[in-house]
Amino acid sequence: MAKIYEATLSGWGNYPKAKGKVVVPFGISDLRGSILPTIIPRGLGRSYADQSINEGGYVLDMRPLGRFLSFNGERGLLRAEAGVSLDEVLKVFIPRGWFPYITPGTKYVTLGGMVASDVHGKNHHREGSISEHIASLTLLTPSGERLNLTPNDEEFWATVGGMGLTGIILEVEMRMRPIETSYITYRSVRVRNIDEMLAVFDDNDPYYTYSVAWIDCLSSGKNLGRGVVMFGEHARLSELPKSLARKPLFYRRKLKVRFPIWAPSFLLNDLTMAVFNWLYYTTHPPYEGFVDYERFFYPLDAIDDWNRAYGRRGFIQFQFVVPESDTMVRVLERIVKHGGGSFLAVLKRMGKQRGYLPFGMPGWTLALDFPIKPGLFDFLKPLMRDIVAQGGRFYLTKDALMDGEIFRASYPDFPKWYEIRRRLDPEGVLSSNLARRLGMDSPSGI
């Protein structure tokens, strides 16, 4: 029998918070009796805002569903329960010469959460989101029906990126990439402004699977968009120096630093952010060589509870995608002019993405962290409407600010998604703060 307790939960941004009841099953056998109205599944809580919280309702803790089920080495197919973490996948499979095709910027996510968010990585422009590498899913509907879904099923495409609102993902079967080493052939280029940055992307993207840039979002004028562009490719064994080739598939369990306290709100200001950005920019000269996968894919995971740096009031991550680089540059200019920028401003090139609620599109995505402070929402809301008017959209798993109007304009296939969701959950058992904020519980999205 499942355990139930009361808790106040938040996403990784510590904003907003919600009181509810957490349901902890002891295994799949408990799940049919654990789907209580209203309820939303939750993995490791790394979505940023209200995606896996449920004010006054229930939250289903998926972590106990953490078993590896099978692996087909000939086809590179891993099947596991949805509560298995990406960290556990890396620990088991890197030493065996396998790596996920798609990984987000943290390994502390569950496979079910990756699917529900249809996560992407630094290779979206080349290899798409996680949904392109999922062979099948097992979904439990609120009525207790167990569905085996493949990319040939419309329910599959409603579930990937569906934010846990079509059913409880029980099992995930995903393709793994064969690797010869756990190292990345790495190149970084320091650029003086956004024009140089975009040119460096154009010159290097054809030769690397992975690309990403850090932007100093406090620099303006001729230095607008200065930063560091980073490229990566899985290193072959023949490329490694002897010192690294001795243990080519080394799994690095790094000693982590823990952020010990919630930072006081006054610590985050334009001066401290300017100092941080200057240090980051000046200490990242051009470089070509090899880095381990942890440094390339998961640099922030080296700091436990790094979200505490933004203080108890929390922060939001503002991530959007637009089809044109000119639009992205204009948005960046407005953010820089407004001030109160971000330590973490990340630019990536994006490609096509399938699904009913896809975030990705050919273009550019910019992600920025903003500490919660007076006037922030008043600045961002009009900016969001302008972004949508230019054909852009916002990432559901990061968003804290969209309303139903912006959501419907960003995701025109929502009515099709809703019809599938209504068939799977006609009583509206599955719900969350996000679903209610965006009107995902009603056909009109209001």
Of the pLDDT bands very low, low, confident and very high (cuts 50, 70, 90), residue 260 is low
Q: How far is CA 43 from CA 60, 64, 169, in A?
A: 8, 9, 11
* Cβ atoms 420, 166 nearer than 8 A: yes
Residue 275: how many other CB atoms lie within 10 Å: 10
Distance CA 197, CA 199 (A): 5
Mean pLDDT of the chain: 93
The pLDDT of residue 446 is above 60: no
Of the pLDDT bands very low, low, confident and very high (cuts 50, 70, 90), residue 261 is low
Q: What are phi and psi of 251, to 5 degrees?
A: -90, 120
Counting every residue written for the chain, the total comes to 446
Say what the pTM is.
0.94
Of the pLDDT bands very low, low, confident and very high (cuts 50, 70, 90), residue 177 is very high
The pLDDT of residue 341 is above 70: no
Q: What are phi and psi of 301, to 5 degrees?
A: -65, -10
Going by C-alpha positions, the residue among 293, 298, 85 that lies closest to residue 179 is 293
- Across the range 44-60, mean pLDDT stands at 97
Of the pLDDT bands very low, low, confident and very high (cuts 50, 70, 90), residue 275 is confident
Task: Determine what percent of the chain is predicted with pLDDT higher than 70.
Answer: 95
DSSP state of 315: E
Distance CA 446, CA 440 (A): 8
Q: How far is CA 337 from CA 86, 186, 218, 228, in A?
A: 38, 33, 9, 21
How buried is 338 (Cβ within 10 angstroms: 0-12 exposed, 13-18 middle, 19+ buried)? middle
Tokens encoding 442? 């009603």
**Segment 277-322, tens digit of pLDDT:** 777 778 788 999 999 999 999 998 888 888 888 888 999 999 999 9
Tokens encoding 427? 């009583």
> Domain 68-179: which CATH class?
alpha beta
Tokens encoding 53? 């919280």
Going by C-alpha positions, the residue among 315, 316, 320 that lies closest to residue 386 is 320
**Segment 354-388, tens digit of pLDDT:** 999 999 999 999 999 999 989 999 999 999 999 99
Tell me what pLDDT residue 443 has: 72
Q: Which residue has the higher pLDDT, 354 or 443?
A: 354
4: Cβ contacts below 8 Å, ≥ 6 apart: 21, 22, 23, 24, 58
- Across the range 418-430, mean pLDDT stands at 96
Of the pLDDT bands very low, low, confident and very high (cuts 50, 70, 90), residue 29 is confident
The pLDDT of residue 263 is above 70: no
